[in-house]
Structures are given as C-alpha cells and as structure tokens.
Amino acid sequence: MLNKQIVQSALDKIKARRTSAEALAYSFFEKAMASEEFKNNFKDIKQAEIQNARAEVYGEKPKYDIEILLRTQDDILKKIKIDVKAITPHYTCTKCNDTGYINGEMCSCLKHEINLILYEKSGLGKDKKCFEKCDFKIFDDPSKTKKIYDILKNWCDKENSYNNVLLIGKTGAGKTYIMECMANDLINKETLVYFTSAFELNENLLKYHTTFDETKGQYLSMLIEPDYLFVDDLGTEPILKNVTVEGIYNVLSERMRDNKKTVISTNLTPKQIQDYYGDRVFSRLLSQSTSLVINVENSDLRLKK
Ligand SMILES: [Zn+2]
C-alpha cells in the first residue's frame, strides 16, 4: 500500500464530499416526507421495488412499473415546491459516487487528491512548469529544445511506451525543468506521481533498511506504488553499502514488473552509472528496449544565464 496516512487523508476529503452531498439530499428528503402524499408514494415505490426484485428471483415478469411511480413522485415534489433533483445526492465524482474506488481500483478523483498531497511533499515549484507554457527562447537552441520536449511530451501522452526515461547532462542543462513539465503534465492526467531527489530516495532506502517494525513498508511503498516516479539528480547521493545500489535496483525492478514508469535525471555519464551502480542497474536504466535515454547536453539544451 501507498503511504497509508496519505491515502487516508485523501480519502477523508472525498468521503467528506460524499457525506455532505448525502446530508443535503437527506434534508430535502425529510422535508418531502412531511407530506403525507409523498410519504405514501415513497412507501409504494419501496414496496414495488421489493416485489419486482422477488419476481426477478423467480424468473417472473416485474409486477410494477416503477417509472410511473417515480413520475408521480416528481409531480408531488413539484406540488410541494421541492426541487425534483434535490432529494438524490449529487456526488462530486459521478464515476465512484465519492467513494474513491471503482471495483477496488483507485478512482481518478482519489489519485488527484493524493497527488495534491504528494505535490506539497515533493517540493515541485509553485510556478507549475508545463510544456504549454515553456518559453523555448530561454534555451540556446530553441528548435533542438523543442524537439526534446516533443519527444518527452509524446512519452507522457502514451501509456505503452518505454518504462524508464533517463535524462543525461550537466547541471544547468535544464533537466529538472523538463522533469517538472513532465510531472505536471502527468498530474493533470490524474495519474499518481511522486517527484523526489536522489538524496531523498536514498534516505528512504536507508530508513527502510534500518526499520524493523510495521512502519518499514511505507518507506518503500512511496517509491514503488506511484504510477510515475521522478528521481532528480541521481549520483548526488552518497552510496551507502548494502543500501543504495541494492535499493535502487529493487525499486527499478519492482516498478518495471508492475509496468510503472520511472524518470531519472543525472549528471553522470553512462560509464559512471555503470561504475557507481554496477551492471544490473546500468542495464535497467540504459537498455534500449526499456529505456528512453536522452542526452540533454549533446542537444545543446542549455539554459542561458
Ligand atoms: Zn471518483
């Protein structure tokens, strides 16, 4: 499970919407029930529903026409001056009726709420960078930059694309800027996105390694559960024995197994990645079949000072 507290607080928000929608509808319903005519008709509807359900069980034709009864209900409501639609709850999300789940799967509204919380935690800038608002003129070579943006935008738009994206290039080449555009684009698509630095990822791996109670799992689930994981600046974290390399390999493997996408930026060269993290991580990140590797620097994607 994703960090339980995060899911719970997102779910609380959605359930609060459900409760208030139902409370509002119920207040109108109670008002309507003060009318004897409405009350009797309501009883008739309930009875008819039970009888029809029973008939269905025995393979018989439905005994009552519920539609007619409901039309009568509308007429009564109009007569007693209550909005016909007011007695049924109006949920904010009509896909899940503000329950947060559809057949056990997270609804997009729940993912959206979780993203808002993750966004706060991730340190993504308040000025939400996005592909649409990018001013290519700030880069040395706008046309090449545009080309890279188009490739990455395309990757964000396609679900069945490479598992991993690796952005290589020196500091100041605009890697973080591009990653923020990608992350915001995917957040808008209501997928679950977690944006973190390699340093923070390493901290999580260390906590996972050194925790021995029931809270252990949450350090890894933050890295494994989201649909998209962004790791900024791989190579700036200290390599901890038995923790960093093994942890990164496990995270990547689990994510690839579940067909979840990972985007990593690094100042390291491919050779350095192999030296620092070994063959197994290297092949996960630089395999042509699973990774889209873009050398930002070679394309002169350099922010003007
Ligand atoms: Zn929903």
CA 254, CA 68: separation in Å to the nearest integer? 55
Are 162 and 281 members of one domain? yes
Lowest mean pLDDT, pick from 13-17, 127-131, 247-251 = 127-131
Distance (Å) from CA 9 to ligand 1 centroid? 15
3-state secondary structure at position 264: strand
Domain harbouring 163, CATH code: 3.40.50.300
Band of pLDDT at residue 124, cut at 50, 70 and 90: confident
| Residue after which a domain boundary falls, among 68, 102, 136 | 102
Evaluate whether residue 91 is within a structural domain.
Answer: yes
Distance (Å) from CA 100 to ligand 1 centroid? 5
Tens of pLDDT along 140-199?
778 888 888 899 999 999 988 899 999 998 877 788 888 999 998 988 887 889 999 999
Q: What is the pLDDT of residue 129?
A: 82
Evaluate whether residue 117 is within a structural domain.
Answer: no
Are 183 and 272 members of one domain? yes
Are 154 and 251 members of one domain? yes
Distance (Å) from CA 158 to ligand 1 centroid? 23
Helix ranges (H only) for the chain are 4-33, 36-57, 66-79, 108-122, 142-157, 175-188, 198-210, 216-224, 244-257, 270-286
Evaluate whether residue 300 is within a structural domain.
Answer: no
Are 129 and 210 members of one domain? yes
CB-facing half-sphere around the CA of 123: CA atoms within 13 A:
7
Are 95 and 243 members of one domain? no
Are 81 and 135 members of one domain? no
Phi, psi of 125 (to 5 degrees): -60, 150
Distance (Å) from CA 87 to ligand 1 centroid? 21
Evaluate whether residue 149 is within a structural domain.
Answer: yes
Band of pLDDT at residue 298, cut at 50, 70 and 90: low
Distance (Å) from CA 34 to ligand 1 centroid? 33
Burial 113-130 (b: 16+ CB within 10 A, else e): bbbebbbeebebeeeebb
Tens of pLDDT along 242-292?
999 999 999 999 999 999 999 999 999 999 999 999 999 999 999 988 999
Distance (Å) from CA 91 to ligand 1 centroid? 9
Sign of CA dihedral 41, 74, 20, 188: positive
Distance (Å) from CA 182 to ligand 1 centroid? 24
Distance (Å) from CA 185 to ligand 1 centroid? 20
CA 199, CA 287: separation in Å to the nearest integer? 24
Task: Tell me how far CA of residue 174 lies from CA of 64, 91, 187, 267, 293, in angstroms.
Answer: 68, 42, 20, 11, 15
Are 135 and 272 members of one domain? yes
Tens of pLDDT along 193-240?
999 999 999 999 999 999 998 888 888 988 998 999 999 999 999 999
Sign of CA dihedral 7, 11, 14, 17: negative
| Residue after which a domain boundary falls, among 47, 68, 102 | 102
pLDDT at 50 over 70: yes
Distance (Å) from CA 24 to ligand 1 centroid? 19
Q: What is the pLDDT of residue 2?
A: 61
Place of tokens 């933050």: 222
CA 200, CA 265: separation in Å to the nearest integer? 14
Are 92 and 150 members of one domain? no
Are 46 and 161 members of one domain? no
Distance (Å) from CA 192 to ligand 1 centroid? 14
Q: What is the pLDDT of residue 170?
A: 83
Are 33 and 159 members of one domain? no
Q: What is the pLDDT of residue 120?
A: 77
Evaluate whether residue 118 is within a structural domain.
Answer: no
Q: What is the pLDDT of residue 34?
A: 95
Distance (Å) from CA 17 to ligand 1 centroid? 11
Residues in the chain: 305
CB 80 within 8 A of CB 41: no
Structural domain boundaries, residue 72: 4-102
CB 43 within 8 A of CB 72: no
Q: What is the pLDDT of residue 123?
A: 64
Distance (Å) from CA 114 to ligand 1 centroid? 12
Evaluate whether residue 184 is within a structural domain.
Answer: yes
Are 191 and 246 members of one domain? yes
Distance (Å) from CA 90 to ligand 1 centroid? 13
Evaluate whether residue 139 is within a structural domain.
Answer: yes
Distance (Å) from CA 99 to ligand 1 centroid? 7
pLDDT at 301 over 70: no
Distance (Å) from CA 112 to ligand 1 centroid? 9
pTM of the model: 0.72
Are 82 and 132 members of one domain? no
Q: What is the pLDDT of residue 139?
A: 74
pLDDT at 300 over 80: no
Evaluate whether residue 170 is within a structural domain.
Answer: yes
Distance (Å) from CA 222 to ligand 1 centroid? 22
Query: What's the domain count of the chain?
Result: 2
